[in-house]
């Protein structure tokens, strides 16, 4: 989670209490914490894009998830998340000396699709190869989101039964 949120009195305590890891500066401490948690058998959730992506754009992802997987040997479980646009509220706030943009789901369903475990095909962490493997991971995630979007477009939130139900 981004560092400025941890400096807010109530929010910071809630995040810390929920087990969130503060990502500050280059993220070295967060990397070490995530690796330690995985080696203890814990689960670590990472958004490679660094934020939620309600516009479903192909964002440039960071290589942290791939680097952590290589360092620990833990597989990555890709997760596609989709919320229909009408259920998302765009938010802008001043944080850490700059305007930060984010979003909140305000209603509706959050659709999740887990993919099979995936492991980077890298014995070492060469920057070009890390970027390539990160792109492969994002392709897995985006394909999961595309599946969810297609399925959710077929859902009907109204009853198709013409007989009134009392």
* 10-residue averages of pLDDT along the chain (166 residues): 74 86 78 93 88 72 92 94 84 72 79 94 79 93 92 63 52
The model's pTM is 0.76
Which domain, by its residues, includes 128?
Answer: 75-153
What was the pLDDT predicted at 6?
A: 81
Inside any domain, residue 146 = yes
Inside any domain, residue 142 = yes
Inside any domain, residue 127 = yes
User: DSSP letter string over the chain?
Assistant: -BHHHHTSHHHHHHHHHTT---B-TT-HHHHHHHHHHHHTT------TTSS--TT---PPPPSHHHHHHHHH-PPB--EEEE--GGGEEEEEEEETTEEEEEEEE-SS--EEEE---B----SS--HHHHHHHHHHHHHHHHHHHHHHHHHHHT--SS----SPP-
Inside any domain, residue 15 = no
Inside any domain, residue 166 = no
Inside any domain, residue 119 = yes
What was the pLDDT predicted at 105?
A: 77
What was the pLDDT predicted at 93?
A: 73
Inside any domain, residue 38 = no
**Total count of domains within the chain:** 1
Inside any domain, residue 33 = no
């Amino acid at each position: 989670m981004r560092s400025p949120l941890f400096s807010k009195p109530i929010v910071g305590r809630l995040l810390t209490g929920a087990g969130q890891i503060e990502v500050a500066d280059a993220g070295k401490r967060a990397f070490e914490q995530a690796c330690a948690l995985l080696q203890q058998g814990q689960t670590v959730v990472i958004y490679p894009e660094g934020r939620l992506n309600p516009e479903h754009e192909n964002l440039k992802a960071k290589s942290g998830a791939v680097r952590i997987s290589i360092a620990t040997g833990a597989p990555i479980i890709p997760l596609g998340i989709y919320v229909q646009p009408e259920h998302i509220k765009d938010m802008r706030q001043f944080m850490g000396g700059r305007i930060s943009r984010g979003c909140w789901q305000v209603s509706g369903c959050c659709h999740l699709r887990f993919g099979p475990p995936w492991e980077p095909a890298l014995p070492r962490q060469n920057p070009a190869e890390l970027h390539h493997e990160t792109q492969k991971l994002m392709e897995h995630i985006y394909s999961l989101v595309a599946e969810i979007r297609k399925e959710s477009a077929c859902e009907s939130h109204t009853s198709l039964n013409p007989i009134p139900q009392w």
